[in-house]
Copies of this chain bind each other. A is one copy, B any other.
Amino acid sequence: MPRFIKKHSQKAGLSPGSLVHIGDKKIETVKIALISYDQDQLLERDLSAIEESFAYRDTAPVTWINVDGLHELDVVEKMGSHFGIHPLVLEDIVHTGQRPKAENFEDYIYVVLKMLNIDTAADHITAEQVSLVLGPHFLISFQEKEGDVFDNVRQRIRKARGRIRKSGGDYLAYALMDAVVDHYFVILEKLGDKIEQIEEQLLENPTPRIFEDIHHLKREMIFFRKQIWPLREVLSSLIKDPSDFIQETTHIFFRDVYDHTIQVIDTLESLRDVLSGLSDLYLSTISNRMNEVMKVLTIIATIFIPLTFIAGIYGMNFEYMPELKWHWSYPALLVVLVVIFISMVIWFKRKKWL
């Protein structure tokens, strides 16, 4: 459940704008990495103190400051005051239970995303909150811990591949969002693989375990859906609301991420439908099995209970039972029993139970 609900209660009643880090502390020390670039030059540094980044606020080339770890609140606070970020935004950055959203401020755009991953040990999807603050010459990204899906973007900057070095911070923001959304497809594929696996097992040998797997997968999908559904609005608002920080030429790229997001949502919905079909299939299989079991029981009991009764009759100890004395009555009875047996079997065949 903690994945679904972050502990808001720790914060209930605090004055708005007070920074409280909600979420697990997933990293020991905060890491700050700075990449500053334009078409011709590139500077990449790991900062030991946040103050070192301040000089880059208004210098012309694009500067990307990436912060891993949100528990050292004064780091966030200092950045906030230097880069002019609204206290409520800072609060949202450190409170990792945010819904994806985009907010237009006068001096910057604030975007919250969820970077998803599959924790193979616990076999469920984990979400890490990524906050982007896009100003005129800088882009600050906040993550909960080290390790992300941005390595390719870094490579593209370093090797000046594609148009990234020729473009501004808005394109960088797009590239990061695109990387996050692209990673959703990886997760979708894994979910799809699992569904396929479940379907095969189901058709082969349906065990109760399978329904638990289906249930588990349904929960993962509810979680997945909760994380990505709002992204649709986020991107559509970034496209529709003209902002000074997003250039006309970058619009088509944001449209592209938007299309991808819709595609993720579409596919997820289809997978949900498929999964719910599997769950119906499982239940119907169980019913069929039960039916099968019942038929076997009924056939055996229906054939032998009457026969046993007849045998029981001639096991009685009455003194006067004339049949017992007759010479052929035993073989005759055996014949009768066989006839009953065969006619029962024929009757079951007719009813298509055999």
Contact = CB atoms under 8 A, between A and B. Distances in A.
B270 A222 contact: yes
Most B C-beta atoms less than 10 A away, residue of A12, A13, A225, A282: A13
Nearest to A284: B211
A122 interface: no
Contact of A312 (B97, B256, B315): B315
A317 interface: yes
A64 to B, nearest CB: 16
Given A283-B284, A309-B307, A179 B13 contact: yes
A310 to B, nearest CB: 9
Interface string A147-186: 0010111001000011110000000001100110011011
B15 A161 contact: yes
Interface in A265-314: 266-267, 270-271, 273-274, 277-291, 293-298, 300-302, 304-309, 311-314
A288 B1 CA distance: 26
Given A13-B182, A185-B9, A263 B97 contact: yes
Interface of A: 1-2, 4-5, 7-9, 11-18, 86, 88, 97-99, 101, 103, 149, 151-153, 156, 161-164, 174-175, 178-179, 182-183, 185-186, 188-189, 192-193, 195-196, 203, 205, 208, 211-212, 215, 218-219, 222-223, 225-226, 229-230, 252-253, 255-256, 259, 262-263, 266-267, 270-271, 273-274, 277-291, 293-298, 300-302, 304-309, 311-321, 323-330, 333, 337, 352-353
Given A192-B1, A195-B1, A298-B293, A12 B185 contact: yes
B189 A5 contact: yes
Contact of A18 (B5, B88, B149, B162): B162
Given A219-B277, A313-B337, 10 more contacts: A12-B186, A13-B151, A17-B162, A208-B285, A208-B288, A222-B274, A311-B315, A318-B329, A318-B330, A318-B333
B314 A317 contact: yes
A304 to B, nearest CB: 5
Contact of A288 (B86, B286, B333): B286
9 contacts: A8-B185, A13-B179, A15-B152, A103-B255, A208-B285, A218-B273, A222-B270, A297-B297, A300-B301
Contacts of A307: 309, 312
Contacts of A289: 291
A290 B229 CA distance: 39
B300 A306 contact: yes
Given A218-B277, A274-B222, A298-B297, A324 B319 contact: yes
A17 B319 CA distance: 95
A288 B308 CA distance: 29
